[in-house]
Structure 1
């Protein structure tokens, strides 16, 4: 092929700046009925990249939702489709890239201290939660996958009655057997007295292929330039194992209303995570939805007709809780 023809084809192989392609961001968000804003939030542990999604045509929002993404992901790319949906239902949505993820500070995908990681995102969420426009509105935490574990830690770190409710999408509270870190690997690296904590040397189970059912959406998610694709870090796997056990041991402390959803064909997190939460939580108002045959990524990775079932259930659940709170918004 002549060199000039190669040059002409090169732009076609470039990754678009956004999952929807090259449409300017403001134009795209407006077409979806939301207003998006991006900023950085300073914390003692580093800067967090944050986003907000507000409904365009509703001057009075129903409540606030604070969203946390999963391992290796970020608040951009396809995750924001969840944020956009909630915003179009009349909610002010706020999301932050976890430390070590996306455009936030930190070693890429290093979660050596998840209590600190959770507390850092929580500091931003509480800053917004307590601000004048939102302090009197119902407020919800939302966590997907490993972000569900981070969200649960945020809930445990919060003062009582801070949150109106919790929403979990395929949360990671129980590690599947085939995903558990090797005790031998952790022991050997542990002999190095923490020097190996940030090493990206743990076996990689290629979770993306097990999470996404729709092949076209898999292509889009795999093209996310900010997605972490390296092997898991030693400290990350050690800490995830510890945190899952800690959460299992403390599920009875959960008293807030919650909805947790899971697919039976989830190849990344166990449906038993959601079932265990439902069984052990002390909440009087608790809801569990199990979707037959659905994979891990229930909203981003399923065909639209399946994802819409999950979204419908989430919308009905959150709207009902807001109505119980006596929100003035209609």
Structure 2
């Protein structure tokens, strides 16, 4: 179902960019893409990589990306993946359990710790591979993927990651979207039977995530996007894990970059501010960028000039950190 206030939408194109075949499009962007599935004890997950087109080009660092709620790695989320690959980074992403082409009930994450561990198992297998083990490595998460990215960081061995990059992370739920304790308690009394039900109140705030209407139309026709009401277990986990992470911000010790719009209707920018204040990361290694008037989807849904601003800030930060940590890797 399309978001409210949109006219009927035409059938979706085969790709978010239109009809151009994948290989031709990626080549025009200066990147190459590969797809595969990764077997885990919790199910099979769909994975992708984006690398600089020139195979002889030295890779600056590796970036492991996690999409947000109801999304996947194969539609507009690719914009951020392609951007980093064009900058000279090796990019890897996985569809979360219950999302995109990964196993699980669509739109359902009944155990967010398990979902984080599942994607992390793939990321760590790549990070520890001979090709990438000596390079700096960063975790990047958008929206709910930002929340899950912090869980992955908590679950990881020390010194696994060189830093975190978070775009509009869901660390504090907007008041209008917080599920009532009555609903969660009522469904909880059904002994888990209702956990997968698509029964939670839906505030229909998708339109508030995307400022550019033409981009909203493209996102709305993503064939893999979950469009049902939020599932009980997923919302229960979002409430639980946001509370957990808020109480453990001081465990964040690595460098990080956080981008957030001040008019974000799906994830409060106060969460990013709390992370910046409470994380014990050295002050010179943590950056919080608040973008006045921008909505939730900074890379996929803002006008092009605003997107260029955010990407420019991201590139400046990771280029500086990759050079800093890359020189260490070289001398070790």
TM-score (norm 2): 0.94
Report the Cα offset of residue 13 of structure 1: 4.1
Equivalent residue number for residue 291 of structure 1? 291
Report the Cα offset of residue 21 of structure 1: 1.2
1:171 paired to 2:169: yes
Equivalent residue number for residue 5 of structure 1? none
Equivalent residue number for residue 268 of structure 2? 270
Which among 123, 129, 132 is matched to residue 131 of structure 1? 129
Q: Deviations over 1:211-235 (max 9, x none)?
A: 0000000000001000000000111
SS of 1:78's equivalent in the other structure is coil
Moved more, 56-65 or 35-44: 56-65
Q: How many angstroms apart in 2 are the aligned matches of 1:92 and 1:322?
A: 12
Which ranges of 4 or more aligned residues in structure 1 deviate by more than 6 Å? none
Count of equivalent residues: 318
Report the Cα offset of residue 262 of structure 1: 0.4
Structure 1 residues 13 and 264: alpha-carbon distance in aligned structure 2, compared to 1, 3 A threshold: closer
Which among 73, 84, 105 is matched to residue 75 of structure 1? 73
SS of 1:42's equivalent in the other structure is strand
SS of 1:218's equivalent in the other structure is helix
Equivalent residue number for residue 62 of structure 2? 64
Q: How many angstroms apart in 1 are the aligned matches of 2:271 and 2:259?
A: 10
Unaligned 5+ residue runs, structure 1?
1-11
Equivalent residue number for residue 190 of structure 1? 188
Q: How many angstroms apart in 1 are the aligned matches of 2:217 and 2:10?
A: 13
Q: How many angstroms apart in 2 are the aligned matches of 1:76 and 1:207?
A: 22
SS of 2:141's equivalent in the other structure is strand
Q: How many angstroms apart in 2 are the aligned matches of 1:250 and 1:156?
A: 9
Structure 1 residues 199 and 306: alpha-carbon distance in aligned structure 2, compared to 1, 3 A threshold: same
1:312 paired to 2:307: no
Q: What is the RMSD computed on CA atoms of the aligned residues?
A: 1.2
1:37 paired to 2:34: yes
Unaligned 5+ residue runs, structure 2?
1-8
Q: Would you say the 8 A contact 2:107–2:234 is kept in 1?
A: yes
Report the Cα offset of residue 103 of structure 1: 0.4
Structure with the greater alpha carbon radius of gyration: 1
Report the Cα offset of residue 210 of structure 1: 1.1
SS of 1:299's equivalent in the other structure is coil
SS of 2:138's equivalent in the other structure is strand
Equivalent residue number for residue 242 of structure 2? 244
Which among 4, 16, 21 is matched to residue 13 of structure 2? 16
